[in-house]
Amino acid sequence: MKLYSYFRSSASYRVRIALNLKGIPYDIVPVHLLKHGGEQLSQLYRTLNSDGLVPTLVEDADGADGPHVLTQSLAMIEYLEEIHPTPALLPSTPLDRAFVRGVALAIACDTHPLNNLRVLRYLVHELKVDENAKNAWYRHWCESGLAALEVTLARDKRPGKFCYGDTPTLADCCLVPQIFNAQRLKCDLSAMPTLMRIYENCQQLEAFVNAAPQNQPDAEA
């Protein structure tokens, strides 16, 4: 498989973790979000992914139907789960799967989209927001999203070493990149002991370490 990825992209990071956890070999094709006016917006990239967003997962296929092109990080991870069920990234009961997906979506739909590069750019270029207000925006959505998640996980019986039980799931694939972003932008995570404990447990696993931005072929200082 080929993963079109940017080292710091949170959505790319999620899929790298999932691929590593499942032990699926893949090649990174770097897409630089800042250089050349944003390589993700190029006509060439958009023939692959009309959203103009990373990541894109491409699987070479035998036969006439050409390579398989997948968009959307969570759709990719569900796909990987279906074609490579072991180790499982979703629990075995529908109710518990809904819990894990709920945690993942709380990050992917309610927290991360507000802090995306293109959104920050709109704030600066169209709304003429200054650096302080832009950073306050970032921290507001990141901290309020994670604070709600802290409550969700702290009051539920299901989290263990990880968001669900003692093995990593789709939820951890989403949590770790979001915490990474939060730390990079100096968000206040002091009131989130459950999230931080899970984050630290994830950092003990090679699959997470090898997926981290600083360990990517396109990493920059």
Q: In terms of Cα–Cα distance, which of 112, 110, 99, 73 is closest to 171?
A: 99
**Residue 26 interacts with a second copy (CB under 8 A): yes or no:** no
Interacting residue with a second copy among 17, 33, 70, 176 (CB under 8 A): 70
The mark string for 161-200 relative to a second copy (x by CB under 8 A, - otherwise) is: ----------------------------------------
CA dihedral 55, 8, 1, 208 (to 10 degrees): -120
Nearest residue (CB) to a second copy, 29 versus 114: 114
213 C-beta neighbours (distance < 10 Å), count: 21
- The two structure tokens encoding residue 95: 């109710």
Q: How far is the CB of 127 from a second copy (least distance, A)?
A: 6
| Residue 35 makes contact with a second copy by CB under 8 A | no
Contacts of 86-90 with C-beta under 8 Å, sequence gap 24+, read 86/22, 87/21, 87/22, 87/167, 88/167, 88/169, 89/18, 89/21, 89/22, 89/168, 89/169, 89/170, 89/173, 90/169, 90/170
Q: How far is the CB of 12 from a second copy (least distance, A)?
A: 14
Q: Could you say which residues in the range 48-67 bind a second copy, by CB under 8 A?
A: 50-53
Q: Which residue among 24, 34, 109, 219 contacts a second copy (CB under 8 A)?
A: 109
Q: Is 97 in the site for a second copy (CB under 8 A)?
A: yes
List binders of a second copy among 142-161 (CB under 8 A): 148-149, 151-152, 155
Preceding amide of 25 cis, omega within 30:
no
| Cβ-Cβ contacts under 8 Å for 73 (sequence gap 6 or more) | 11, 12, 14, 15, 55, 108
Query: What is the contact surface with a second copy in residues (CB under 8 A)?
Result: 46, 50-53, 68, 70-72, 74-76, 78-79, 82-83, 94-95, 97-99, 101-102, 105-106, 108-110, 112-114, 119, 122-123, 126-127, 129, 133, 136-137, 140, 148-149, 151-152, 155
